[in-house]
Amino acid sequence: MAHSPSSTSFDAKGCHKGTLETGDRLLADVSLPAAVIHQAPLAHNLAWMQDFASRHGAELAPHGKTTMTPALFRRQLEAGAWGITLATLPQCRAAFAEGAQRLLVANQMVGQANMAIATDLIRAGAELYVTVDSAENLDQLGAFFGAAGISLNILIEVGVEGGRCGLRDDDEVMALARRAATLPGIALAGLEGYEGVVHGDDPVAGIRRYAQRLVDGIKRLADEGLVDRDKPIVTASGSAWYDLIAEEFRDGGLEGRFTPVLRPGCYVVHDHGIYREAQAGVLSRRQDLHQGLEPALEVFAQVQSLPEPGMAIVALGKRDIGFDLAPEVLRRYREGGQASELLSVEGWQVVKQMDQHTFIQLPDSARDVRIGDVLAFGASHPCMTFDKWRQLHLIDDALRVVDTWATRF
């Protein structure tokens, strides 16, 4: 009588996709699709952004929500990052468990369950900062942390009309700061903002004005003695307009008295879409930056069907790669081939995606396509690719896996 194998007879790696099966060769030994990070551009990006922040007199607290990959957090901190930015308290707990001590939550903390997580983190030694933009939330935090006998670091969020969170009026910022000074359990550390929601006919000018508001606001708070910190924090910067924020912080007279903090996240692996376009804008504004960021994240997958002339179906779908924009076919290889043995993908175009399938329109010249051919895809907005994977591979120029990193989504 045949028996079904027990679950314990399978290695735990079988629970994940993109696993190494028979060796370390990406083109032969890894179950595809698989998400990979190229070693050389990753190292370049880590050094590039840290140097950029330092040359502008700012600290770097990369946004960890992009990758939620502790191995990358460690590399960012080793490169000189001041801390790690997160979006939620569970994300903070995951980062702290892997060694990140200074955690900046670029979001409001609501709900007593989340406050309980924050309490545990602070008691365990985390240096935690959260943002606040209302008296109601501030009072809730004061009551909870005052009763717990803990001091919570807060940053008041400065917003813009039609934007996201944050106080729209600068006088409201001052009023909230004065209220914070009266509450137990609350320590005002500075101001926080996000320029990515600044819109209008001239976003460059609008973002510069917004950054100047932050600079003026933190000086005003410090002048009134409302900040419970020797060098008050002022922080902003996503991954698209970081150059403008850095310049305004650098030129705003903050040096020596304040702690300016930049928070880009996507820079670490860059992308082949919206941030590639954004980086082109940075380089056009800053002629002194001769080399920018390099895309490091790709997803490899195989041709699974050639059902009709001019069409290839690839075993890759929306469950595997971000789809803010259609993925870009970058390169093609034979299964089992070498990294240097490139095949043409000129004229190949992704025209449709489903959960597990990508439809590629082929040019007439594509006559050598085989079932099993391996394609490298680039994606836009790396956050939306990372969160589809529980592990990613670090690969070298020969397309060999040199390490495998877990994510913590």
Name the more confident of 162 and 1: 162
User: What phi-psi label fits residue 270: left (phi over 0), alpha (psi between -120 and 50 degrees) or beta?
Assistant: left
Structure-block tokens of residue 210: 């917004």
**pLDDT of 26 strictly over 60:** yes
For tokens 């190292």, what's the residue?
43
Cis? peptide before 33, omega within 30° of 0: yes
Of 5-9, 103-107, 159-163, 245-249, give the lowest mean pLDDT range.
5-9
Q: Strand 328-333 relative to strand 374-378: parallel, antiparallel, unpaired?
A: antiparallel
pLDDT score recorded for residue 290: 79
**pLDDT of 25 strictly over 60:** yes
Q: Give the mean model confidence (pLDDT) for residues 7-14.
A: 57
Q: Report all structural domains of the chain as residue ranges with CATH numbers, in order of start.
A: 7-38+293-406 (2.40.37.20), 62-264 (3.20.20.10)
Q: What angle separates helix 70-78 from helix 39-55, to the nearest 10 degrees?
A: 50
Each residue of 42-70: b (16+ CB within 10 Å) or e?
bebbbebbbebbeebbbbbbbbbbbbbbb
d(CA 255, CA 268): 26
Q: Give the mean model confidence (pLDDT) for residues 347-358.
A: 98
**pLDDT of 12 strictly over 80:** no
**pLDDT of 9 strictly over 90:** no
d(CA 319, CA 322): 8
Q: Give the mean model confidence (pLDDT) for residues 194-202.
A: 92
Name the more confident of 8 and 290: 290
Q: Strand 401-406 relative to strand 59-60: parallel, antiparallel, unpaired?
A: unpaired
Each residue of 298-328: b (16+ CB within 10 Å) or e?
bbbbbbbebeeeeebbbbbbbebbbbebbbb
d(CA 315, CA 86): 32
pLDDT score recorded for residue 3: 54
Dump pLDDT digits (tens) for 353-380. 999 999 999 999 999 999 999 999 999 9
Which pLDDT band holds residue 44 (cuts at 50, 70, 90)? very high
Structure-block tokens of residue 172: 């409201």
pLDDT score recorded for residue 291: 85
Of the candidates 301, 377, 296, the residue with the CA atom closest to the CA atom of residue 335: 301
Which pLDDT band holds residue 199 (cuts at 50, 70, 90)? confident
d(CA 297, CA 288): 26
**pLDDT of 6 strictly over 70:** no
pLDDT score recorded for residue 233: 98
pLDDT score recorded for residue 10: 58
- Compute the C-alpha angle 36/41/42, nearest 5°: 65
Dump pLDDT digits (tens) for 220-274. 999 999 999 999 999 999 999 999 999 999 999 999 999 999 999 999 999 999 9
Residue 281 CA to its chain's centroid (Å): 19
Dump pLDDT digits (tens) for 123-179. 999 999 999 999 999 999 999 999 999 999 999 999 999 999 999 999 999 999 999
Say if CB 290 and CB 279 are below 8 A apart.
no
Name the more confident of 15 and 8: 15
pLDDT score recorded for residue 2: 53
